[in-house]
Structure 1
Amino acid sequence: MAALRGHASSVALSVEEDLDDIVHMVETVQPDVLHLCGDIERVPPDAVAHLRDRLPGVQIMQAVPVTGPESVEVALAFAPHCDLLLLDSDAPEIDGIGATGHTHDWNVSRAIVEAVELPVILAGGLSPDNVAEAIERVRPWGVDSLSHTNRRNADGGFSKDLELVERFVAAARAASAVPAAD
């Protein structure tokens, strides 16, 4: 993280539920942003408020699972305690929010973007082929891709496919340059 200072923002992702463990990780790693993507019932908005008090100077990005219209209320509950929201898909077989490779209802995501007063990053099944449409429909502050810009490694893991990343970035930039239709 120290090598990135002044060149890029560093983000530490956590699915941890114990607040002391989260604080310890942040104090050890010293990221610019703490990305909370664990179970929102185990780390609810009041717990995030407590983290905010314990971690001054660190931005908090809360992942919100977009499961239906009720997700707007979830986003509104977390928003006062965060600097960013990341809207992602959820799947019961995945520990935490995201990394499913599936899109969710972008109409709900758009409603969240319109309801909160902080930057919203759209994730959830975004690829070079659908990111432009997602940006046009949702008008997020930013976009994120994991599953559809990776390639499987022989060992079963994955790594970024730089060609897919280039296509994703080009499509996102082109879409974000187009003025909103509404």
Structure 2
Amino acid sequence: MIRVKVCGLMNENDLTHCVQAGVHTLGFVVEFPVSVPWNLTRNQAKELIQAVPPFVNTCIVTGGAVEKVVSLAKKTRPNVVQLHYEETLEDVTTIARELREIGIKTIKALRIDSEGKCKFDIDDPTEAAQALSKSGVSAILVDSYTESMPGGTGVMVDLTTFQTIQQSSALPVILAGGLNPDNVQSIVRDVNPFAVDVLTGVEAKHGEKDASKIKAFMLNVNKN
């Protein structure tokens, strides 16, 4: 079974559409260090997370200093924190340890640029995956990186690079970047990720999801 995370949720209506469609994890962008269209305050995120029913996971997507990330996690109490910014390996290791102590898991995003390099203090994808496998995080997420947008780029990750990271990682590897209802079935069949993460591919517009696209996305993932 391929697990699905829908990210960039900003209202209870979209949250309900995701739950009804069988989405496994609901993602909320919270106090991201740079301006993105999906940013919530910690109080807004806390209210939405509290509205999520049992047996559906929640994830905040954030980044920055260790103290800030841990504070956000304690305030919002998600199941998972996804680090999606310029955290160093040392930062990631510290955050994963501190969150584990309060029962929250950590995912680190490896954002891959057009040259196949990671936007990380270890820029080689193989070496980065190997190092993160020992950092205490629970999974690695592979996303595309552009200068104009740190996430939600709508740009596909090179699938050969994704497979290299899969092969180098002792952890589950999640695929993000450019996924939508039309392409997800073939991509899942080709690279068999642990999970897929979609944001712009199921939007009506920034900050608002399209219920029909969410249903189609789930249907096409589950055809494999």
Identify the TM-score tier after normalising by the shorter chain.
0.7 to 0.9
- Alpha-carbon distance change, 49 to 10 in structure 1, aligned in 2, over 3 angstroms: same
SS in 2 for 1:101: coil
Q: Aligned pair count? A: 165
Q: Identity rate of aligned residues, in percent?
A: 25
Partner of 1:102: 155
Q: Write out the 4+ residue segments of structure 1 that deviate beyond 6 Å after TM superposition.
A: none
Q: Does 1:63 align with 2:109?
A: yes
Output the amino acid matched with 2:106.
I
CA contact (8 A) 2:157 2:176 kept: no
Q: Return the match for 1:78 from 112, 129, 132.
A: 132
Gaps of 5+ in 2: 1-48, 118-123
Q: Does 1:164 align with 2:213?
A: yes
Instruction: With the length of structure 1 as denominator, give the TM-score of the two structures.
Output: 0.84
Aligned-residue offset at 1:172 = 0.8
- Correspondences of 1:23-62 after superposition (within 5 Å): 23-39=70-86, 43-55=87-99, 56=101, 57-62=103-108
Gaps of 5+ in 1: 176-182
Aligned-residue offset at 1:129 = 1.1
Aligned-residue offset at 1:5 = 6.3
- Alpha-carbon distance change, 76 to 146 in structure 1, aligned in 2, over 3 angstroms: same
Instruction: With the length of structure 2 as denominator, give the TM-score of the two structures.
Output: 0.69
* Cα separation, 2, equivalents of 1:72 and 1:60: 20
Output the amino acid matched with 1:9.
N
Between the two structures, name the one with larger relative contact order (CA 8 Å, sep ≥ 6): 2
Aligned-residue offset at 1:102 = 0.6
Q: Does 1:19 align with 2:66?
A: yes
* Cα separation, 1, equivalents of 2:52 and 2:202: 22
Aligned-residue offset at 1:148 = 1.3
